[in-house]
């Protein structure tokens, strides 16, 4: 169907809302994992670090898969990859519910859910961006806000299902639901009329970026941020329950994190158009250690735990929304997908290490304190790593081609004067 429909047409909006739907479902299901932690620890007679490996391996794989999914989408289109993701995600959840050993569970869940998410995440974002010129920012915002909406709306439902039916039955039902949702979205994942950038262009752009110190500064900062960031996605609900908070009330902390993420994506995205992107990204890094200090002093104080979750969500959501724009301003638009694909592996490696290490510390000490303090110091290191990027705030905006691919309609640039 390529070339038969115009840029900014109705089909593009269908793709954008399809991306929102699949993100809402996927991340609502995935982030509900925290509510199954207690049952899985008991059933597998496993350590916290062992169960955390489910989440860590999965997160690593869906970030790493993005480097391959982009070129595959160029060749086969997003529709086929979303369809493959339906069977990976749905089958991974269903088969995980049948396993009897911890290792088999980590392997099946990680490969199924991790590759299932990775198969669609980049291709649908690419397709959404390629359908638009005038309304590209809004369309991409609609696509990505689904991640926060899923955390906000589906985690409480999944918690109720896991609590009442057990994690195995819940995973089976969520597996069936994944096949249905992914299948529907695949039907409406229309190939955009704008031809994608060639793979060679993306590879060349990534190689150029790898030779720049700014790339590695952002990579290290992103890695350190992610080591700490994903710890509460696994352990916050269990922590709250151990403080005497009920299961459903504890699960609402993840919902609050999702609400903060939505506010960060939308609010800081709009603010970035006015004050520049890099100062806000540095602020997002700075929010994370402050949030963890709130967790450290919160104890069983539920309002403080809500504040922690909300702050972390705002910083995390703002970073996710703004970082591609900043990368475009720093490294240029040509081949940006390749640069982002390599850069995002930093988050995957951080996610692979952080929750497992935190679980091991909690297992060894019988307390969350050391893990939280460690997260504070790692988050501070991430913040100090990225602060020197402030000097790029005076950078001039790149000149955008009239039909640039994978770009924002304006890059909002890294400069407060780029308006």
Residue pLDDT, tens place only, 132-159: 877 776 787 788 888 888 988 899 999 9
Do 250 and 241 form a contact (C-beta atoms < 8 A)? Answer: yes
Which of 342, 76, 321 is closest to 205 using CA atoms? 342
- CATH 3.40.640.10 given to domain 1-196: no
d(CA 79, CA 191): 8
pLDDT score, position 396: 35
Residues of the chain with CATH 1.20.1250.20: 1-196, 197-414
Which of 118, 127, 121, 126 is closest to 189 using CA atoms? 127
pLDDT score, position 109: 97
Q: Write the class of the CATH domain 197-414.
A: mainly alpha
d(CA 216, CA 67): 17
Which of 126, 106, 95 is closest to 60 using CA atoms? 106
Residue pLDDT, tens place only, 227-254: 999 999 999 999 999 999 999 999 999 9
d(CA 314, CA 156): 20
Do 380 and 309 form a contact (C-beta atoms < 8 A)? Answer: no
Residue pLDDT, tens place only, 325-377: 788 778 776 667 678 778 889 999 999 999 999 999 999 999 999 999 999 99
d(CA 107, CA 101): 10
DSSP-derived secondary structure letter, 53 = H
pLDDT score, position 414: 34
């Amino acid at each position: 169907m390529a070339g038969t429909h115009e840029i900014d047409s109705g089909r593009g909006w269908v793709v954008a809302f399809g991306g929102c739907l699949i993100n809402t479902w996927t991340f609502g299901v995935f982030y509900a994992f925290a509510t199954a932690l207690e049952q899985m620890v008991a059933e597998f007679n496993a350590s916290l670090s062992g169960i955390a490996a489910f989440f860590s391996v999965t997160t690593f794989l869906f970030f790493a898969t993005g480097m391959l999914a982009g070129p595959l989408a160029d060749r086969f289109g997003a529709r086929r990859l979303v369809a493959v993701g339906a069977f990976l995600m749905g089958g991974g959840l269903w088969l995980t519910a049948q396993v009897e050993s911890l290792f088999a569970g980590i392997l099946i869940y990680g490969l199924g859910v991790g590759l299932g998410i990775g198969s669609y995440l980049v291709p649908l974002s690419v397709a959404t961006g390629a359908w638009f010129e005038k309304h590209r920012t809004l369309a991409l915002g609609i696509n990505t806000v689904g991640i926060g909406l899923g955390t906000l709306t589906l985690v409480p439902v999944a918690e109720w299902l896991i609590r009442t039916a057990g994690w195995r039955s819940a995973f089976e039902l969520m597996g069936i639901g994944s096949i249905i949702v992914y299948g529907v979205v695949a039907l409406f994942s229309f190939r955009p009329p704008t031809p994608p950038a060639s793979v060679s262009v993306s590879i060349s752009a990534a190689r150029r970026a790898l030779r720049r110190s700014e790339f590695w500064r952002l990579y290290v900062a992103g890695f350190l941020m992610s080591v700490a960031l994903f710890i509460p996605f696994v352990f916050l609900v269990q922590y709250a329950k151990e403080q005497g908070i009920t299961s459903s009330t504890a699960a609402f902390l993840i919902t609050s994190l999702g609400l903060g993420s939505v506010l960060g994506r939308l609010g800081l995205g709009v603010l970035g158009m006015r004050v520049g992107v890099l100062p806000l990204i540095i602020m997002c890094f700075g929010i994370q250690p402050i949030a963890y200090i709130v967790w450290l002093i919160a104890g069983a104080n539920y309002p403080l735990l809500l504040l922690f979750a909300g702050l972390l969500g705002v910083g995390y959501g703002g970073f996710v929304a703004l970082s591609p724009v900043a990368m475009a301003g720093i490294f240029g638009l040509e081949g940006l997908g390749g640069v982002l694909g390599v850069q995002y592996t930093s988050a995957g490696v951080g996610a692979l290490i952080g929750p497992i290490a935190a679980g091991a510390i909690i297992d060894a000490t019988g307390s969350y304190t050391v893990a939280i303090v460690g997260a504070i110091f790692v988050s501070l290191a991430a913040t100090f790593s990225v602060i020197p990027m402030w000097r790029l705030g005076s950078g001039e905006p790149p000149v955008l081609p009239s039909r640039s691919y994978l770009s924002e309609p304006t890059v909002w640039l890294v400069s407060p004067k780029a308006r």
